[in-house]
Each structure stands twice: as structure tokens, then as C-alpha cells.
Amino acid sequence: MTFRTPRIAPSEITPPEVFFNRRTLLAGALAAGASSLLPAAETAPSGAKLQYTRNAQYSVSEAPNKYEEITGYNNYYEFGTDKEDPKANSGSFRPTPWSVAVGGEAGVKGTFTLEDILKPHPLEERIYRFRCVEAWSMVIPWVGFPLSALIERFKPTAKAKYVEFTTLYDPHRMPGQRERVLAWPYVEGLRMDEAMHPLALMVVGLYGQTLPNQDGAPLRLIVPWKYGFKSIKAIVKINFTEKQPNTTWNLSAPQEYGFYANVNPQVDHPRWSQATERHIGAAFLAARRPTLPFNGYAEQVAGLYKGMDLRRYY
């Protein structure tokens, strides 16, 4: 199967500060009395409520982005390549029932329902920084449980050096998969020590409620020290491997997207700088802020990459 890499120039990407201030711009343009044409007020969480506790140890102190921002500005090519497409095109997606197949170098294999996956794990809320390779960022209150706890249940063998994740492939339910922008289904992977790090989180909720479809319902990964494309959504398969898995964006554009995807402000994307970022929710025309190594989690995770050339293994 052939596929084409999306080639979107930086100038063609709507800046987040413009995207989220369009109401202000519209309000000025329509002040003559067309206020009824403006979008509705900020959307409130609408999923099922979750029982969880706040994990302050792993939460950052920054205020979270608004629910509307987190759910309205998404990269999720399974539902379209524009930022508004996932919200617009995922409304009819039904993430139940759901199952996850586990295989490879593991002592426990099989197909498990979402209820099986969740049952032994108390949920917790963690407020994490989220950094996109397109040089924008958010702060998001995720609800989930440590990936390490899930991995331990499957008893990976000594040969398991990596863990591979696969997204649902269903072009009928995910219209973006009808386009050959990527090699479907979406695949991502972690080295085993990365997957076992306490910051790596399996996520089932946002703002205390179940995940919206556009944010990866019902089960997604969050690896906060890596760029957002590493945090795969709608997971249906977990496979333990001895060899490094081929991941979707690394196959699509290896000159732009490496396997590790660690946030490194010293390594630019070939088409734009990673040295600074625009924080979504910042004031209109606010100055960009410096990008933090490992997205601000260097103290916790830099030891995983001791001795590695992070310009080469990007």
C-alpha cells in the first residue's frame, strides 16, 4: 500500500493564538448586531464521570488549558488532518465495546475487554505538560493509571526489549483512514525502560470524565517528555518485541520523525524551529516561550538516555 506524507508548510498552519482568538476577531467584525452568529460559550466536559484521586507528585503546577482548547485543537489523522476535523468527524464514533489484543514476548497473552484492562487499576489524575512537534503546547489534566502496572500484568519475557501499540483500523468509523496520508493502522512504540517509567500513563479520561472521541477514546497513551505524536490513541493492540518496532511517522518521514521523539529544543524539525513554543491559551500575540528539554521532565527521565547522542537518536 502506498501513502503520501502530509506536506503542510508552517505558513499554512493556523497559529493556535489565532485559532483560539477567532471569537475576538469575529466579535469585532460583527459588532453591528450579528452576535447570534458567534460560536457558543466554552464547552463543558460531557463524558461519564470517573472515580479517581489527584496525584500531586507527578502533576505540574501550571493551570490546565480549558476543556474547549484540549478538545477543539487536535492532531488525530484518523478523523482528518485539520485541527478541527477530529472534533467535527468523530461524533458518531462509538468506543464501546472495546477490546485490546496482547501478544509477542509475554507470559500472559490474549484479548481483553476494556473492563478487563481497567479493573485492577485505581485511576488517578495527573496534570501533564503536552508538547506538539508543530511547536505548540498545552497543560492537560489526564485521568489514567501507570503503564508499568499494565505491563507487569502481562509478564513480558526477558526477550521483550520494546512494547508496540496499534490504533484501531476501521475506515468506516474513522473516515481519515480512507485517505492514504499515512500507512494505516497507526503504530507507535517505546523501549521497555521508557514504558516502565512512572511518568508513562495509560489514559482513559480528561477533566475527570471519560475521554472525548477526538482525544483518543477509550484508551490512549501519554508519554509527557516526548512529542505528542508518540502518545498513540484508540489502542487495540499491545505487542512485546525483541526488535525496535517500525512506527508510523518514522516510516512516513524518517528525516523528520525519529523513533525516540524526545522533546529536544536543540534539534529543529526540518521545516521549523523547536527552540520555542506557543502555549495555547496565552494572550493574543504573546511572546513565544523557550522549549524545555524533555518538555520540562529532564530531571526525571534524562537518565534513560545517558550516553546517547540525542541529536542522532531524536
- Please report which residue ranges of 206-309 form alpha helices under DSSP H: 248-252, 298-301
Q: What is the pLDDT of residues 95-149, one digit of tens each?
A: 999 999 999 999 999 999 999 999 999 999 999 999 999 999 999 999 999 999 9
Q: How many CB atoms lie within 10 A of CB 47?
A: 18
Q: Report pLDDT for 39.
A: 37
The CATH number that applies at residue 196 is 3.90.420.10
Q: Is residue 18 part of a domain?
A: no
Q: Which domain does 220 fall in, by range?
A: 47-305
Number of domains forming the structure of the chain: 1
Within a domain: 24: no
Residue whose grid cell is 489526564: 142
User: Quick one: average pLDDT of 67-71?
Assistant: 97
The answer on pLDDT for 35 being more than 70 is: no
Q: Mean pLDDT across the chain, nearest whole number? A: 89
pLDDT in tens, 75-96: 999 999 999 999 999 999 999 9
**pLDDT-based confidence at 1, cuts 50/70/90?**
very low
For residue 69, is pLDDT > 50? yes
* pLDDT tens digits along 189-203: 999 999 999 999 999
**How many whole angstroms separate alpha carbon 69 and alpha carbon 64?**
10
**What phi and psi values does residue 216 have, to the nearest 5 degrees?**
110, 20
Q: Is residue 14 part of a domain?
A: no
With respect to residue 175, please indicate whether it lies within any of the assigned structural domains.
yes
* 29 in any annotated domain: no
Chain Cα centroid distance, residue 288:
22
3-state secondary structure string across the chain: CCCCCCCCCHHHCCCHHHHCCHHHHHHHHCCCCCHHHCCCCCCCCCCCECCEEECCCCCCCCCCCCHHHHHHCCCCHHHCCCCCHHHHHCCCCCCCCCEEEEEECECCCEEEEHHHHHCCCCEEEEEEEEECCCCEEEEEEEEEEEHHHHHHHHCECCCCCEEEEEECCCCCCCHHHHCCCCCCCCEEEEEHHHHCCCCCEEEEEECCEECCHHHCCCCEEECCCECHHHCCCCEEEEEEECCCCCCHHHHHCCCCCCCCCECCCCCCECCECCCEEEECCCCCCCCCEECCHHHHCHHHHHHHHCCCCCCCCC
Could you tell me the pTM of the whole model? 0.88
Establish if 226 belongs to a structural domain.
yes
3-class DSSP state of 139:
strand
Q: Once rounded to an integer, what is the mean pLDDT over residues 256-268?
A: 96
Please report whether residue 314 resides in a domain: no
- The verdict on residue 187 lying in a domain is yes
